[in-house]
């Protein structure tokens, strides 16, 4: 394998490359524990202030975390514009069930 790669070959077998190319699962951004906490609280219907209190952080910090979450989803090709979009992402990524977003 190593010799093949150094000679310009692929590290993936044709079968594995095909399977990866057919993976239709949405890309999940990597969220920190605090980002997930704020996201799940806010997307479940809490105000941002309530989500901040639940996370034990300042309102401005919660707002910053939520902006990071939105940016990470946009970078993953799954933009979020509304609270409903965020709720959809939580459901899609199973974060409401303790998923890690990884």
Buried b (16+ CB within 10 A) or exposed e, 17-49: eeeeeeeeeeebbebeeebbbbbbbbbeeeebe
Given the candidates 1.10.287, 2.60.40, 1.10.10, 1.10.150, the CATH classification of the domain at 33-97 is 1.10.10
Query: What's this model's pTM, rounded to 2 decimal places?
Result: 0.71
Question: Residue 68 has which token pair?
Answer: 């990071």
Q: What is the pLDDT of residue 18?
A: 65
Q: Is 7 left (phi over 0), alpha (psi -120 to 50) or beta?
A: alpha
Q: What is the pLDDT of residue 100?
A: 46
From first to last of its 102 residues, what are the pLDDT tens digits of the chain?
566 666 776 677 787 766 666 655 568 999 999 999 999 999 999 999 999 999 999 999 999 999 999 999 999 999 999 999 999 999 999 998 654 444
Question: Residue 98 has which token pair?
Answer: 């303790």
4-16 pLDDT tens trace: 666 776 677 787 7
User: From CA 95, how far away is CA 18, in angstroms rounded?
Assistant: 29
User: From CA 21, how far away is CA 78, in angstroms rounded?
Assistant: 18
Q: Which of 26, 27, 34 is nearest to 68 (CA)?
A: 34
User: Do the beta carbons of residue 44 and residue 87 sit within 8 Å?
Assistant: yes
């Amino acid at each position: 394998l190593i010799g093949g790669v150094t000679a310009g070959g692929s590290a993936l077998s044709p079968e594995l490359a095909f399977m990866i190319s057919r993976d239709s699962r949405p890309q999940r951004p990597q969220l920190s524990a605090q980002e997930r906490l704020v996201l799940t609280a806010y997307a479940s219907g809490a105000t941002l202030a309530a989500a901040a209190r639940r996370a034990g952080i300042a309102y401005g910090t919660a707002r910053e975390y939520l902006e990071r979450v939105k940016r990470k989803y946009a970078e993953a090709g799954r933009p979020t514009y509304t609270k409903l979009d965020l709720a959809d992402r939580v459901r899609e990524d199973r974060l409401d069930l303790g998923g890690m977003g990884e």
